A = this chain, B = another copy of it.
């Protein structure tokens, strides 16, 4: 399908708060910081934003503090604001819906804002979500992903040392990133000797819980040159929702996430990408656990099933590899404020495509892919952005 620039979507502004334990900021204060900074980055005022999409997973009881909170934070009164929630893939799905509204010609300039506060409240919500209704209580996110990781390691002979290399790589990248939750390198030995959370995952195999917000300004592509010199376009996106009972479904082989494969296929088709290894320059992927990144390599088509371990061992996903994965530090080191994560990935990709990523800059970054995974691996969203000449 050939589309004119008026039907295309450009990203003209991005921003991200420092991720971490933001005890000094409320959810609303993080929204103010991310929202105004994204507008500033685009060279617009908040008044120029015609509509907004808010990605937040658990802003309050039953979604009780969502769109109105953003309206008050940015004084966006009287304008359309939609809350999107799709488990940990909330942020990229909010982006996807905002982009559709721009592509439909409904709005010229819109905002996507992802925000989540996980640290300064009692354990509930996300953590309790982890209790799978069909399994015993105690089946938290680490416990659920560990089931697949164990099956994968048994099948392909992968050991914990290979998983640890993902943590080492992503912490090394995060150490170069002033906005990352953790900016500390870790060694393979530290990862392997850390306390076990759910075998094979030790503490350093798991991403942290984090506070943070990120925002992006989307614009009709034919108007983008008014705001910024470089043109960064949405090339394709995909979203796939699988069964909520993967661990009871006999067709699930526990070796990866069919949601990722399906979402990537949709995005590749829209972007006209046949060979991601050759046509995608770098990826921000959902490394909620070290093993998750390894299966992501495979499920996204960067190597064959079972070869993800080799992919990390050969350094192909390193910052200096042929396809850097998580130059930002990933969920592992940048942190994972649920609804903000997907928008933070967009922030990283745009920053890389502009060549503004500083010490963690990917060489010759022309096309970047964001991959966001949610639920018990049952939801995946993929967004591909590219720099146009």
Chain A residues packing against B (C-beta within 8 Å): 1, 3, 7, 51, 57-58, 61-72, 76-87, 93, 96-97, 100-101, 103-106, 124-126, 128-129, 238-245, 258-259, 262, 266, 375, 378-379
Contact = CB atoms under 8 A, between A and B. Distances in A.
Contacts of A77: 241-243
- What's the number of copies of this chain in the assembled complex? 2
B72 A243 contact: yes
Contact of A124 (B61, B63, B66): B61
A240 B80 contact: yes
Nearest to A89: B67
Given A78-B259, A103-B105, A241-B68, A126 B62 contact: yes
A57 B66 CA distance: 11
A51 B266 CA distance: 12
B82 A239 contact: yes
A243 B72 CA distance: 5
B81 A84 contact: no
Nearest to A240: B78
Contacts of A69: 244
Contact of A85 (B85, B239, B266): B85
Contacts of A70: 241
Nearest to A339: B63
A129 B68 CA distance: 13
Given A100-B106, A104-B103, A241 B81 contact: yes
A84 B87 contact: no
Contacts of A239: 51, 80-82
A244 B81 CA distance: 13
A61 B97 contact: no
A346 B32 CA distance: 35
Contacts of A245: 72
A68 B243 contact: yes
A100 to B, nearest CB: 4
A63 B71 contact: no
A86 B82 contact: yes
